Amino acid sequence: MTSAIPFDRHSAEPLWRQIERHLKQRIDHTEWKAGARLPSALALADEYNVNRHTVRRALAALEHRGVVRTQPGHGSFVCEPGYDYRLGRHGIVTPIRHATEQEETAQVLGACLREPPHRVAEVLGLLRGERAWLVESRSTREGHLVEYTEAWLPAPRFGDLDVIYLRTASITRTLAAFGVTTWSRQFTRVSACLPATPIARLLDQSPLRPVLQLESLTVDADGLPVQYGLTRFVGDRIQVVVTGE
C-alpha cells in the first residue's frame, strides 16, 4: 500500500469530500487531461489509504458536478469541455463561439454517389433506383472532435456536385452554384442514441458513449427537397441552444 495522502480524519468534513476536492485539484493541475481515464477506484483507494466505497462516493460527486464521466465496465474519465450550438427558427444549427475559444475546424471526408437508404430516398422524393450524393464531414473545436455529418442530396438535381463541393467545402456555396439560394429546414429532429461502431470510430469515442443526433430536411423556396442531413454530436461535449433567430 502506498503512503497515505494526509487528510484530517477528525474533521467535520467527510473524508470522501476531502478526496473529491483533492481529485479536483489534481484534474485542475492537468495531472489527468480532458478525456483521460482516471485510475481505478481500487487503485485510488490504495493511494488514499481508504476503502473503495469512499473513493466511489468522491467520484460520484465529481460526476454530479460534471467533472468526470463514468462508463460502466470502462472506468471514470475527465470530462472534455462543453460547446454551445444554436438551433435557430429555421432549424439551422451553427456553433456559438465564445471569446476565449478557437473557431471550429471542418474536415471534408469525401463526396460520392450512393444508393441511399430507404429513409433517405423517401424524404428526398427519389424514385426506385435513383441515387444520391453522400457528403461526409466532421468538425473539431479546440482540438476536440465534436461532430460527424452526413449530407444526402438528390443526384438527378445536382449533377457535378462532388466537383463543386470539394472545391468550395461548403454545402451553402455548392447549392448556390446550382441556383438554390433560398432554402429552409422543413424539420429538425433531435434525439440521443448509441452510435454504430463506424460512427464511434469517426468521433474517436466508445460505442457505449451516447451521441446527440440531429436529423433534418432542407427544402428550397418551392418546397422541393434539397438536402437530408444527419449529424451526430459527441453527446457530453455539446449543448443545443434553441433561439428564435
Per-residue pLDDT of the chain (245 residues; tens, 9 = 90+): 344 576 777 788 899 999 999 999 999 888 998 778 999 999 999 999 999 999 999 999 999 888 888 877 888 988 876 677 777 655 556 666 654 455 668 888 999 999 999 999 999 999 999 999 999 999 887 777 888 999 999 999 999 999 998 888 888 899 999 999 988 888 989 899 999 999 999 998 888 888 999 999 999 999 999 999 999 998 777 777 776 65
pLDDT value, residue 235:
78
CA-CA distance, 158 to 175, in Å (whole number)?
8
- pLDDT reported for residue 4: 55
Please state, in angstroms and rounded to a whole number, the distance separating the CA atoms of residues 174 and 158. Answer: 9
The single-letter code of the amino acid at 90 is H
Q: Which residues belong to CATH 1.10.10.10 in the chain?
A: 15-78
DSSP annotation of 14 reads -
* pLDDT on residue 226: 94
The domain defined by 15-78 folds into Arc Repressor Mutant, subunit A (1.10.10)
Q: How far apart are CA 186 and CA 78, in angstroms?
A: 38
Q: Positive or negative CA dihedral for 165, 175, 178, 168?
A: negative
The cell for 237 is 461535449
Q: Where in the chain is the domain with CATH 3.40.1410.10?
A: 83-242
**Cβ distance 139 to 147 under 8 Å?**
yes
Please check whether residue 26 is in contact with residue 18, taking contact to mean a CB–CB distance below 8 angstroms: no
d(CA 178, CA 155): 12
CB-count exposure of residue 121 (10 Å: 0-12, 13-18, 19+): buried
* Nearest alpha-carbon partner for 59 in 33, 77, 81: 77
Check if CATH label 3.55.10.10 holds for domain 83-242: no
Q: Could you read off the pLDDT of 59-114 as tens digits, one per residue?
A: 999 998 888 888 778 889 888 766 777 776 555 566 666 544 556 688 889 999 99
